[in-house]
């Protein structure tokens, strides 16, 4: 143990607190080690270097691309070099989707190009594109209120804004506009679909993201927020109908494969009991996937490395997964999250030994709250965790964690308890899924605070006697 960590703990005002064993049953030694992990992370967690190297070496990493495959190979070598156990690349088949050409234009009354992107999983137009009159809705509900057949031959445009929110709930509310909206428009006769980017910025970046794939699809696009404003103004300044042209060369172009990269620090007492953490390795093609989700990969891997570097092992196993193919939808019957589903399916008989799961997939900013599974709010683990996390500016979330991030969804559906280290997300959708998702968006100090929270909490959790399933059942 480095002395510097203790010195930093002193600087943080923690000296002399001791450990009140009457209120915290978790061992004083575990708390001391958790505090050391936290303070070491704050001195430089190593996470920035991981996301820096990942994004510089591989740039964008679309699911099923050669770039994603190469980055997985690199990740396995990196984690082997870190001393992790049971490093494995587990591959699964995937259709490779490519964007091709994208072009969205106003033809009349005010001819001009717009900044746009095809939605992930969308289809091609005929080579010359689709030309049609646009019907513009300020809100998604207005589209849903249209009768069947009322939009025949039209291009539907939905201009609804996404509301910035610390926990990202604005994006959650908007997501159906992108996922389901094209089908709602198509079922009413529309031939093309355009939405205002589901971002919270006002810069001229278009924001991609998966749309539903399958029968009845029509070509679907996002325009940048300023271009949404432009369409709104064009409608106000002219009584003429707005005609648009949409061009897409997108589609599923090849059979390929993606993969999860798995690595562990093995528990000394209960090696078969697993805490699963991680992030997703694939990214959209527009940026370099720094905040989505190179950061999540880096945070969880750096946290586990701090634990690996301890002279002691945790009681339970901690497994980090770099999930593949989180972003893009797949043709039916698959409904996305191919890597997460493959992980869970392969371990279907083993999921009862997954004691908890959580993914870091919300950028690179600071942690502001801890959420535990239902029933765990009044536990020794909570008291120990908040003793260690409070000096990082982290509060305990009154609401129980109902999920642990996208790639834990199949696990949670199978009954695995989830926890969450919630990240500040007010800015996340300013950059997410755009060309601007690059390393320049990451503040190394915020990243270190994030790793500090993960490392400290993971140590306490892996050494705790808490049984999340039993507490939940008792609710």
Interaction of residue 112 with a copy of itself, rule CB under 8 A:
yes
Residue with Cβ nearer a copy of itself (127 or 398): 127
Residue with Cβ nearer a copy of itself (2 or 233): 233
Residue with Cβ nearer a copy of itself (65 or 300): 65
E strands, 109-250, are: 112-114, 116-118, 130-137, 155-158, 192-196, 220-223, 243-248
Q: Which residues of 445-459 are buried (b: 16+ CB within 10 A; e: fewer)?
A: ebbbbbbbbbbbbbb
> According to CB under 8 A, which one of 51, 123, 234, 320 is a site residue for a copy of itself?
234
Strands 220-223 and 116-118: antiparallel
Residue 163: CB minimum distance to a copy of itself, A: 18
Residue with Cβ nearer a copy of itself (57 or 346): 57
Cβ atoms 279, 295 nearer than 8 A: yes
Cβ atoms 87, 321 nearer than 8 A: no
Binding segment for a copy of itself (CB under 8 A), chosen from 166-174, 230-238, 266-274, 414-422, is 230-238
- Beta-carbon-side half-sphere exposure of residue 128 (alpha carbons within 13 Å): 2
Residue 283: CB minimum distance to a copy of itself, A: 11
Count interface residues toward a copy of itself (CB under 8 A).
Answer: 34
Interaction of residue 107 with a copy of itself, rule CB under 8 A:
no
Cβ atoms 147, 188 nearer than 8 A: yes
Binding segment for a copy of itself (CB under 8 A), chosen from 294-302, 392-400, 421-429, 438-446, is 438-446
Residues between 277 and 306 that touch a copy of itself (CB under 8 A): 287-288
Binding segment for a copy of itself (CB under 8 A), chosen from 107-115, 301-309, 414-422, 463-471, is 107-115
Residue 24: CB minimum distance to a copy of itself, A: 44
Residue with Cβ nearer a copy of itself (90 or 98): 98
In whole angstroms, give the CA distance from residue 68 to residue 74. 10
Interaction of residue 427 with a copy of itself, rule CB under 8 A:
no
The H-or-E segment that residue 442 falls in is none
Interaction of residue 405 with a copy of itself, rule CB under 8 A:
no
Residue with Cβ nearer a copy of itself (98 or 467): 98
Residue 226: CB minimum distance to a copy of itself, A: 4
Binding segment for a copy of itself (CB under 8 A), chosen from 245-253, 274-282, 381-389, 436-444, is 436-444
Residue 329: CB minimum distance to a copy of itself, A: 23
- Could you tell me if residue 165 is left (phi over 0), alpha (psi between -120 and 50 degrees) or otherwise beta? beta
Binding segment for a copy of itself (CB under 8 A), chosen from 104-112, 244-252, 377-385, 411-419, is 104-112
Residue 343: CB minimum distance to a copy of itself, A: 27
> For residue 126, what are its two tokens?
């005929």
Q: What's the CA angle centered on 468, arms 466 and 470, to 5 degrees? A: 95
CA 363, 369, 370, 374 torsion: positive or negative? negative
Cβ atoms 423, 366 nearer than 8 A: yes
In whole angstroms, give the CA distance from residue 216 to residue 193. 12
Residue with Cβ nearer a copy of itself (234 or 265): 234
In whole angstroms, give the CA distance from residue 143 to residue 177. 10
CA 377, 337, 426, 172 torsion: positive or negative? negative
| Cα Rg, the chain, nearest whole Å | 24
**Which residues, 6+ apart, have CB-to-CB distance to 167 below 8 Å?**
422, 425
In whole angstroms, give the CA distance from residue 421 to residue 14. 22
Residue with Cβ nearer a copy of itself (56 or 413): 56
> According to CB under 8 A, which one of 57, 309, 331, 332 is a site residue for a copy of itself?
57
Interaction of residue 161 with a copy of itself, rule CB under 8 A:
no
Residues between 210 and 229 that touch a copy of itself (CB under 8 A): 225-226, 229
Interaction of residue 435 with a copy of itself, rule CB under 8 A:
yes
Residue with Cβ nearer a copy of itself (75 or 225): 225
What is the DSSP secondary-structure string of 275-298? EEEEEE----SSS--IIIIIHHHH
Interaction of residue 59 with a copy of itself, rule CB under 8 A:
yes
Interaction of residue 237 with a copy of itself, rule CB under 8 A:
yes
Interaction of residue 202 with a copy of itself, rule CB under 8 A:
yes
DSSP 46: S
In whole angstroms, give the CA distance from residue 289 to residue 225. 21
Residue tagged 């159906």 (tokens): 176
> According to CB under 8 A, which one of 45, 46, 60, 283 is a site residue for a copy of itself?
60
Interaction of residue 120 with a copy of itself, rule CB under 8 A:
no
Interaction of residue 250 with a copy of itself, rule CB under 8 A:
no
Residue with Cβ nearer a copy of itself (51 or 471): 51
Residue 115: CB minimum distance to a copy of itself, A: 6
Residues of this chain that bind a copy of itself (CB under 8 A): 52-53, 55-60, 67, 106, 110-113, 115, 202-205, 225-226, 229-230, 233-234, 237, 287-288, 434-436, 438-440
């Amino acid at each position: 143990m480095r002395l510097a960590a203790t010195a930093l703990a002193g600087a943080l005002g923690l000296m002399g607190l001791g450990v009140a064993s009457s209120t915290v049953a978790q061992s004083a030694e575990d708390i001391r080690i958790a505090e050391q992990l936290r303070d070491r992370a704050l001195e430089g967690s190593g996470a920035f270097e991981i996301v820096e190297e990942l994004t510089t070496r591989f740039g964008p990493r679309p699911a099923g691309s050669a770039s994603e495959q190469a980055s997985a190979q690199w990740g396995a070598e990196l984690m082997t070099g870190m001393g992790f156990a049971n490093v494995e690349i587990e591959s699964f088949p995937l259709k490779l989707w490519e964007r091709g050409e994208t072009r969205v234009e106003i033809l009349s009354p005010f001819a001009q190009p717009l900044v746009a992107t095809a939605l992930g999983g969308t289809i091609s137009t005929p080579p010359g594109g689709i030309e049609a009159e646009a019907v513009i809705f300020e809100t998604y509900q207005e589209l849903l209120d249209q009768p069947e057949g009322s939009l025949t031959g039209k291009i539907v445009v939905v201009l609804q804004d996404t509301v910035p929110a610390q926990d990202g709930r604005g994006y959650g509310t908007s997501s159906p506009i992108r996922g389901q909206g094209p089908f709602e428009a198509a079922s009413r006769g529309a031939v093309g679909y355009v939405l205002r980017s589901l971002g919270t910025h006002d810069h001229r970046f278009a924001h991609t993201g998966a749309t539903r794939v399958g029968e009845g699809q029509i070509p679907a696009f996002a325009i940048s927020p300023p271009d949404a404003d432009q369409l709104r103004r064009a409608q106000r300044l002219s009584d003429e109908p707005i005609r648009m042209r949409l061009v897409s060369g997108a589609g599923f172009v090849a059979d390929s494969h993606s993969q999860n990269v798995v690595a562990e620090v093995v528990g000394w007492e209960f090696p078969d009991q697993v805490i699963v953490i991680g992030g997703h390795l694939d990214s959209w093609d527009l940026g370099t996937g720094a905040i989505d989700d190179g950061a999540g990969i880096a945070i969880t891997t750096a946290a586990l490395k701090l634990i690996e570097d301890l002279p002691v092992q945790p009681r339970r196993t901690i497994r980090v997964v770099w999930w593949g193919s989180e972003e893009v939808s797949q043709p039916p019957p698959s409904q996305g999250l191919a890597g997460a589903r493959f992980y869970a399916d392969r371990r279907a008989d083993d999921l009862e030994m997954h004691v908890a799961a959580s993914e870091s997939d919300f950028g690179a900013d600071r942690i502001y709250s801890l959420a535990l599974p239902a029933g765990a709010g009044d536990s020794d683990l909570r008291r120990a965790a908040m003793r260690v996390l409070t000096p990082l500016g982290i509060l305990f979330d009154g609401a129980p964690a109902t999920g642990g991030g996208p790639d834990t969804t199949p696990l949670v559906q199978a009954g695995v308890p989830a926890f969450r280290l919630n990240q500040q997300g007010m800015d996340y959708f300013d950059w997410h899924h755009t060309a601007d998702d690059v390393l320049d968006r990451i503040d190394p100090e915020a990243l270190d605070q994030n790793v500090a929270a993960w490392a400290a909490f993971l140590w306490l959790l892996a050494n705790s006697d808490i049984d999340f399933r039993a507490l939940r059942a008792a609710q």
